[in-house]
Each structure stands twice: as structure tokens, then as C-alpha cells.
Amino acid sequence: ALSARRRRTEGAELDEKIEATIADPANDPEVALQEKDRGELVRRALMRLSTEHREVIDLVYYHEKSVDEVAHILDVPPATVKTRMFYARKKLGELVKGAEKVRC
């Protein structure tokens, strides 16, 4: 029992040491700027989506609605919501990648 307790204590100390050496990217101004830029790219790309695609992205990701809730809100079958989500994410990815290539 004592050796098991020692192993747990040693493991906890090791975890604390590792945790202390890992840099928090939130404190890095460069990382913060990159995240801000990426957020701006995503916002611009969202505005270029069709209204139907933008609606489902907004409801699911920003308002945290389920597929069934979105289907009820938009008065469409859940399968339609899933299809719109698929194509909206695909188009959004293409738009963001295209914008990133232009910036580089």
C-alpha cells in the first residue's frame, strides 16, 4: 500500500513538472495574432456562403443547436440539415484555404 502511494505521489510530481515546462500558447502574442487572423478569415468566408449554409453553420456552431433543433427551426428534415452542414463545411474549408494561399 505504501509503495503504491509513493508511485502515485511521484507520478503527480512528474505531472506537475511537465505541466510547468509546457508553454501556454495563450500568452504568446504571435499565436494570439495568428488566431485573430484566422478568425477573420473564417468570418469573411462565412459571409461568402449561401444563406442556407450560413444559417446552419450559425445555428449549430454559434448557437449550439442540435441537428434536430435546427431542423425544427428551419422547418426542414434532419437529413437536409446534415446535408447542408456537409456542404457548408466543405465550402468553408475551400474558402479559408484559398484565402490563406492568397495571403502567403
Residue 11 forms part of a structural domain:
no
Mean pLDDT, the chain, rounded, equals 80
Q: How far is residue 98's CA from residue 54's CA, in Å, rounded to a whole number?
A: 18
The CATH code of the domain that includes 65 is: 1.10.10.10
Q: How far is residue 35's CA from residue 26's CA, in Å, rounded to a whole number?
A: 10
Domain that holds residue 52: 29-103
pLDDT at 35: 75
Could you give the number of structural domains in the chain? 1
Q: At 83, which amino acid appears? A: T
* CA 79 to chain centroid: 23
21-72: pLDDT as tens digits: 565 656 677 777 777 777 888 888 899 999 999 999 999 999 999 999 999 9
